[in-house]
């Protein structure tokens, strides 16, 4: 069949993600939900680069010039994908800068720059940032220094006090930038800029490892040294610094994505959660109870009576929790095994495990997919907690 009859897989996926961006641009969508869709668009794009773009680049480095059904060789696909992503990212920035930020400001929700902070807010930030270096940090010969933003430990948007009751925030990046003199005493700070590196998310694991979880965790630790596939940076990053980064990361110009003081759009989910404004969000849709289980003395009786379809998230997850809890104390149950795929960080109310004392005679196990690339840290932590809770955990290929 002619190649014109096929659409490139990666380009097709980008058009799917464009529809997510359109939700962020839609004025009929509640304002904070538009912010959330912008975050989802960005999170999707992060995973796309970590998996799909990284895969294309591996084929290019291997010298693979085999054309796909669409007629594009890997190097041609990389160029086409990069061009389309640049167009979408430009739309994303316009949506945020020209569309959402002014509307948010009109609702009393704003991101402040350091120079816009009041004296009271500056005092608050000085207390929020208690880190002091006892000696000047050693700088490399190039006089460039890199600070990692601890966004896994601290909120990306720091809430500021405001007497008028507005929702005012400052980016964690800006807070750190404001206090750089306390980190580099004795040095003149010429400029500070934000960059964000996306790397290949492929895990290299020992297939015959006796401890799959330990092998996964080791591979995750090494991911920080994986091949870079994208560099996001501030628009005012000096050209010589950008050239140095390109060389060190082995990237090309098409791998550069310019922003305006903010690149981690996926973190906007934190801002969505931090603002308590129901009027600007979708109305809550509480899950429905399942009458067949509500009226039965136990899960077993209900499923023996008839087949029951449980559809999450529309039905309450309590059904699953109850099923596991009843199995944990049933003398006829010898083992409990479940598969976890793309799970969120564990919460006490959503962890369907009975206390160890009640499962002493059972053999509970949880299986988690190690191919769900962007959720592996979640699974690693969850599996580790299961292990210490007298539950075995296994990472399985999916």
Instruction: Write out pLDDT tens, residues 53-75.
Output: 999 999 999 999 999 999 999 99
Q: CA 231 from chain center: how many Å? A: 16
Beta-carbon count within 10 A of 253 CB: 8
pLDDT of amino acid 198:
94
pLDDT of amino acid 135:
43
* 219-268 pLDDT, tens digit each: 555 555 789 999 999 999 999 999 999 999 999 999 999 987 678 899 99
pLDDT of amino acid 365:
57
109-111: strand order across its sheet: 109-111, 167-171, 157-160
pLDDT of amino acid 205:
58
Q: Cα separations (Å) of 302 from 12, 79, 297?
A: 44, 56, 8
Task: Provide the CATH number for the domain around residue 298.
Answer: 3.30.870.10
- Host domain of residue 97: 1-106
Lookup: tokens for 38: 């912008």
**Domain end residue (candidates: 60, 76, 106):** 106
Confidence of residue 199 (pLDDT cuts 50, 70, 90): very high
> Could you give the residue ranges of the DSSP H alpha helices within 62-97?
74-94
Lookup: tokens for 182: 């306390």
Q: What is the mean pLDDT of residues 331-350?
A: 71
Residue 373 has pLDDT above 90, yes or no: no
**Would residue 151 count as lying in a domain?**
no
**Would residue 46 count as lying in a domain?**
yes
**Would residue 389 count as lying in a domain?**
yes
**Would residue 7 count as lying in a domain?**
yes
* 210-232 pLDDT, tens digit each: 566 666 666 555 555 789 999 99
**Domain end residue (candidates: 58, 85, 106):** 106
**Would residue 392 count as lying in a domain?**
yes
Task: Give the whole-angstrom CA distance, residue 343 versus residue 351.
Answer: 11
The total number of structural domains in the chain stands at 2
- What residues contact residue 145 under an 8 Å CB cut-off, 6+ apart? 137, 139, 184
**Would residue 248 count as lying in a domain?**
no
Task: Provide the CATH number for the domain around residue 22.
Answer: 1.20.58.310
* 21-62 pLDDT, tens digit each: 999 999 999 999 999 999 999 999 999 999 999 999 999 999
Element containing residue 382 per DSSP (H, E): helix 376-388
**Would residue 254 count as lying in a domain?**
no
**Domain end residue (candidates: 41, 72, 106):** 106
Q: At what angle do helices 31-48 and 74-94 cross, to 10 degrees?
A: 160
- Closest residue by Cα to residue 49 from 20, 83, 85, 16: 85
**Would residue 238 count as lying in a domain?**
no
Q: What is the mean pLDDT of residues 144-170?
A: 89
pLDDT of amino acid 3:
80
Beta-carbon count within 10 A of 325 CB: 18
């Amino acid at each position: 069949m002619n190649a014109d009859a096929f659409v490139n897989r990666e380009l097709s996926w980008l058009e799917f993600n464009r529809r997510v961006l359109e939700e962020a641009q839609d004025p009929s969508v509640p304002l904070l939900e538009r912010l959330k869709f912008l975050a989802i668009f960005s999170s999707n794009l992060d995973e796309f680069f970590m998996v799909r773009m990284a895969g294309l680049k591996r084929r290019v480095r291997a010298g693979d010039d085999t054309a796909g059904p669409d007629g594009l060789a890997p190097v041609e696909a990389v160029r086409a994908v990069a061009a389309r992503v640049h167009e979408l990212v430009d739309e994303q920035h316009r949506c945020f800068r020209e569309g959402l930020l002014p509307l948010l400001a009109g609702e009393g929700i704003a991101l402040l720059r350091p120079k816009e902070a009041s004296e009271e807010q500056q005092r608050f930030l000085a207390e929020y940032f208690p880190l002091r270096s006892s000696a000047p940090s050693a700088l490399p010969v190039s006089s460039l220094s890199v600070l990692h933003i601890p966004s896994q430990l601290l909120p990306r948007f720091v809430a500021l006090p405001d007497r008028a009751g507005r929702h005012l925030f400052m980016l964690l990046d800006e807070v750190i930038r404001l206090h750089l003199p306390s980190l580099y005493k004795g040095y003149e700070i010429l400029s500070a800029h934000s960059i964000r590196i996306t790397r290949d998310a492929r895990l290299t694991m020992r297939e015959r490892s006796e401890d799959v979880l330990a092998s996964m965790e080791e591979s995750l630790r090494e991911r920080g040294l994986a091949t870079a596939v994208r560099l996001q940076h501030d628009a005012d990053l000096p050209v010589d610094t950008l050239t140095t980064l390109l060389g060190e990361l082995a990237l090309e110009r098409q791998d550069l994505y310019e922003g305006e003081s903010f690149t981690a759009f996926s973190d906007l989910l934190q801002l969505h959660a931090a603002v308590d404004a129901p009027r600007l969000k979708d109305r809550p849709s509480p899950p429905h109870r399942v009458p067949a289980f509500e009226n039965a003395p136990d899960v077993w009786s209900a499923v023996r009576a008839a087949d029951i379809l449980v559809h999450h998230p529309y039905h309450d997850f309590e059904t699953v929790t109850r099923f596991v809890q009843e199995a944990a104390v049933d003398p006829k149950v010898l083992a409990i095994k479940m598969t976890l795929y793309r799970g969120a960080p564990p919460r006490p109310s959503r962890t369907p495990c009975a206390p160890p004392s009640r499962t002493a005679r059972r053999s509970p196990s949880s299986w988690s997919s190690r191919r769900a690339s962007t959720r592996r840290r979640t699974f690693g932590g969850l599996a580790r907690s299961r292990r210490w809770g007298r539950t075995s955990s296994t990472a399985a290929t999916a």
